[in-house]
Amino acid sequence: MAHDSRATPEPSEGPIRVILWGLGAMGKLMARLVLSDPDLVLAGAVSRRVRDGLAGPVDIAHIAGLNRPTGVMASATLPEAVARSGGARVVLHATGSFVREVSGEIEACLEHDLNVVTIAEEMAFPWVAAPDLADQLDRLARSHGRTILGTGVNPGFILDTLIAFLTVAIGHVELINAKRVNDLSPYGPTVMRTQGVGLSPDEFRRGVEEGAVVGHVGFPESMHLIAKALGVKLSSIEQSREPIISSVRRETPHVLVQPGYVAGCRHSARGYLDGRVFIELDHPQQVRPEAEGIETGDFIRIEGYPSVSFRTGPELPGGIATAATAVNMVRPVALSGPGLLTMLDFPLPHGSARRQSEVAVNG
Amino acid sequence: MAHDSRATPEPSEGPIRVILWGLGAMGKLMARLVLSDPDLVLAGAVSRRVRDGLAGPVDIAHIAGLNRPTGVMASATLPEAVARSGGARVVLHATGSFVREVSGEIEACLEHDLNVVTIAEEMAFPWVAAPDLADQLDRLARSHGRTILGTGVNPGFILDTLIAFLTVAIGHVELINAKRVNDLSPYGPTVMRTQGVGLSPDEFRRGVEEGAVVGHVGFPESMHLIAKALGVKLSSIEQSREPIISSVRRETPHVLVQPGYVAGCRHSARGYLDGRVFIELDHPQQVRPEAEGIETGDFIRIEGYPSVSFRTGPELPGGIATAATAVNMVRPVALSGPGLLTMLDFPLPHGSARRQSEVAVNG
């Protein structure tokens, strides 16, 4: 590797060599963070664009839009990336959202004795969406002595593990109510479609019924994470997806919303315990919330002894916060005992003050 | 024990038997939380009042001000409490603030093969105040296969481990600025004296010089906790204690502050990294802040990529939050590997939704 010629480090110290799997918007952000980190080495990447023949063997800078060469070539397949990696230990995985969609790729990583940090939303607590696959991944991870973790900003942090951690200072937890109000304006056509932005209210409702309007992926996962931390088991979870109908014209580079049309999706969920609501999560996502004076932010209210309110303002930005959370978990995952784990299982997760800010911010 | 006749549980499951050491304001809050928790058993208590002959062998309800008998007798000494405890595994320790003041009591716990959770502020990161004693405690803990943890709301949570945890969603941390603005009105004469409340500005300055006005105990500990989490080492820490001079009359049951006199202490600290300020912590503590329209709360600002702001409102209440944090760490400490640990070393700390709210709130 042009950027780091040191030998493979000892397991518990020295920089950790990382392979990126997926070079989309998230992979690009992760690449920058890994490159800026003296404790990590970007040792390879797997890109669908190389596999599909859309790019030859190129420096990942070309695919990830970085402003200078990294010396790391993108590969078409995992075995190819592993062979070039000089002893990678962790795969940062960012190719999909659903357990069934990503489990094969995660198994391939384990077969190469690699640990995995994935931002697939359902993997934050995969026993909800696919308990059999989750158990299978856990067994395979243990048999290879490797670790799998699903994480990200949400699920993985703001509406689950942060809430769980806040309760350490609370004597008795009665009710959790949390809301993430964000701005979808930076996102592209895929997000506009899955959130129903620009549709008429009727089209939106039809989209929800038919599964085209998805809303947020991760509420059941977040709720089970919180409940597990607090020592209880939810009896059921209800979800609803309602259109956020704009009363004004809202426009982004990717979508135009006329008054009376849908500016976004208000996805909310209620988790029940002993016949009463115990966790309420609310995630209204829309373009240009400021057009109607809507304040964005993350709002957490815990009722109990004592009751407390916490908030951010504006919201923790979804893209970079997801990439950062994943990159920050690389070292804990590399050093952890084996198995399919969750964010509850690691010594206090944290960031780094050791990264070079130029690499992180520019490019 | 009258309230629980089960045999001593296996190490990794079943309720954990706990001895309280110290039955002051904090011990009383902890007693209530332990009594309300199906996963803990209040198995004994050590009280200075019993030792000093101010109380005979009495139910701890009488000392801790609980509204019904607990069936647990307060003891004069630790050996006595251990003998009565039916196999206690953890001591919840609340007798002092400073390492030199509490290390002997913690050693006594270890000699009885007990784990310790202490709210002594300096024990949150005891290598600052007394590195030799800290190393000695660590060695003793390891030789007995037991764990020591210092925790509380501050230090231990709001201005250190919460900040460290928030950075997991941040790509690069440049500067940390946090402020805890609280209301001292509920506190008694000791706190009024150590914060200089009611003094003239000149008396306050003399009190700071002579060490009678202490302000907050824990800033260096919090700063080293944050720095350790973020992978850096601070080169120096500066602290200052300034009088908060009231422009109006402020009164509590314990103190009267005339205009021009001191309503509290603004204690702040700056931690340096590579010649620049990296962590700024500010803790203005005063009686009746609302008398001058001052909003209480915990305010955390992290500058970096991305920059984020986080706040509570009002502040997380100091007393119950400290008791809750300590009680919530009993099980993790009982199940942990040995040594003198910090809040950074445990699987994600969290609270409980299993406690009975009546016991916790009433009494």
A346 and A308 in a common domain: no
Flag whether pLDDT at B184 surpasses 70.
yes
Alpha-carbon gap, residue B76 to B53, rounded angstroms: 8
Tell me the pairing of strands A262-273 and B115-118. unpaired
Q: Which residue of A has its CA nearest to B341?
A: A347
Quick: pLDDT tens for A237-294: 999 999 999 999 999 999 999 999 999 999 999 999 999 999 999 999 999 999 999 9
B171 and B123 in a common domain: no
pLDDT at B68: 86
Apex B338 CA angle, B336 and B342, nearest 5: 70
Distance from the B82 Cα atom to the nearest Cα atom in chain A, whole angstroms: 26
pLDDT at B5: 31
Interface test with B, best of A341, A348, A355, A356 (most B CBs within 10 A): A348
Q: How many residues does chain A have?
A: 363
**What is the extent of the structural domain holding A103?**
16-152+321-362
Chain A environment of B329 (Cβ under 8 Å): 168
Among candidate residues B155, B153, B186, B187, the one with its CA nearest the CA of residue B316: B153
- Taking residues A49-57, report their average pLDDT: 77
Q: What is the CATH number of the domain that holds B231?
A: 3.30.360
Model ipTM over 0.85: yes
Place of tokens 């391939």: A108
Tokens representing A282 are: 């609310």
Flag whether pLDDT at A321 surpasses 60.
yes
Contact between residue A234 and residue A272 where contact means Cβ atoms under 8 Å apart:
yes
Contact between residue A83 and residue A114 where contact means Cβ atoms under 8 Å apart:
no
Within a domain: A10: no
3-state secondary structure of B42: strand
Chain B environment of A309 (Cβ under 8 Å): 312-313
Flag whether pLDDT at B360 surpasses 60.
no
Of the two residues A186 and A359, the one the predictor is more confident about is A186
Q: What is the CATH number of the domain that holds A334?
A: 3.40.50.720
A185 and A303 in a common domain: yes
Interface contact flag, A348 B346, Cβ < 8 Å: yes
Which range among B1-10, B53-62, B231-240 has the greatest average pLDDT?
B231-240
A330 and A310 in a common domain: no
Structural domain tally of chain A?
2
Interface test with B, best of A151, A162, A168, A175 (most B CBs within 10 A): A168
Alpha-carbon gap, residue A119 to A141, rounded angstroms: 17
- Prediction pTM value: 0.94
- Taking residues A170-177, report their average pLDDT: 97
Chain B environment of A157 (Cβ under 8 Å): 168-169
Q: How confident is the model at residue B12 (pLDDT cuts 50, 70, 90)?
A: low
Q: How confident is the model at residue B10 (pLDDT cuts 50, 70, 90)?
A: very low
Of the two residues B2 and A246, the one the predictor is more confident about is A246
Alpha-carbon gap, residue A145 to A111, rounded angstroms: 11
pLDDT at B313: 86
Average pLDDT of chain A? 93
Q: Which residue of A has its CA nearest to B301?
A: A312
Quick: pLDDT tens for A204-240: 999 999 999 999 999 999 999 999 999 999 999 999 9
A326 and A296 in a common domain: no
What percent of chain B has a predicted confidence (pLDDT) above 90?
84
Flag whether pLDDT at A92 surpasses 60.
yes
Q: Report H helices in B177-329.
A: 189-194, 201-210, 219-229, 318-328
Q: Which of A310, A323, A347 sits opposite B310 (nearest CB)?
A: A310
Within a domain: B302: yes
- Taking residues A157-163, report their average pLDDT: 98
Within a domain: A11: no
Alpha-carbon gap, residue B54 to B307, rounded angstroms: 55
Interface A–B counts its CB contacts (< 8 A) at 208
Tokens representing A201 are: 């209210």
